[in-house]
Amino acid sequence: MKITLTGLLDDGSPRRPGVIDPRETITFPQGSDVTLVVSIITPTGSPVPLGGSGVELLLSVKKRTLDQPSRIKKLAVLSGTAGTFTVEPADTRWLAAGQYVFDVWLTKDGDRNAVIPTSQLVLTASVAAIPSAPPPPIIQLVENDTEPLVLDFSGTDITGWTVEVHLAYVPAPLVRVATIVDGPGGVAQVDWLPGDLLVGRWAGEIQTTRPGPFVQTSDVFIADIRAEIA
């Protein structure tokens, strides 16, 4: 499947009539081969060349804008005034059908701009694309980082819940209690402390305790924690 989009690099020039908003909804089934071709223009309609050193076009897909990390992240292959992203079947066959958000960012001449701001991506259900046992999701982290990990319960009201993240460190697991940041909206976050993130690949789980009390533990995910460069 080929999808063609037009991004807009706002260079301050007046917008020519006919140059439309770059936000657009795209739709495709789980497990599809998708070629996403993005051309970039200025508000006057002039094409933006994408050659040269340091030029990058980045696609990110998330369930919600605040989620970390991205469900899909791709760099485009650049040619002339267009970039081509290849979304492979394995990128989406494990994702639940439903609405996602995506954006496309251009890095050029030292500047970084959203050439397609936050837009909707609809992933439709495909029975043939779903194997019986999906692999555990991987969360990529960096040692010594303290950026919070956002947990999205997809709109479930988690007011009054206790939410914990467990990482299977040896000899003792790490346990961190999340902060509920939007109970009715189902959003919590884990505030990592300095030294929490140890280099390696560790099994993890999310455990919730609801009023009752009722305890439920998620399937295992993998925390892939790399060493910081400096």
Secondary structure percentages of the chain, helix, strand, coil, to 5: 5, 50, 50
- Assign 213 a pLDDT band (cuts: 50, 70, 90): confident
Q: Are 81 and 48 in contact (CB under 8 A)?
A: yes
**More confidently predicted of 213 and 133:** 213
Mean pLDDT of 20-43: 92
pLDDT number for residue 76: 95
CATH code, residues 138-226: 2.60.40.3350
**Domain spans of the chain, in order of start:** 2-127, 138-226
Q: What is the mean pLDDT of the chain?
A: 90
User: Hey, do 2-127 and 138-226 end up sharing a CATH topology, with the first three levels equal?
Assistant: yes
Distance of CA 3 to the CA centre of its chain: 20
At 82, list the tokens.
């267009």
Mean pLDDT of 39-67: 90
pLDDT per residue as tens digits for the range 149-164: 999 887 789 999 999 9
pLDDT number for residue 99: 92
- Assign 133 a pLDDT band (cuts: 50, 70, 90): low
**More confidently predicted of 213 and 78:** 78
Mean pLDDT of 12-26: 84
204 CB burial (10 A radius; 0-12, 13-18, 19+): buried
Whole-number percent of the chain with pLDDT over 90: 65
Question: How far apart are the C-alpha atoms of 105 and 103, rounded to whole Å?
Answer: 7
Mean pLDDT of 106-132: 86
CATH code, residues 2-127: 2.60.40.1930
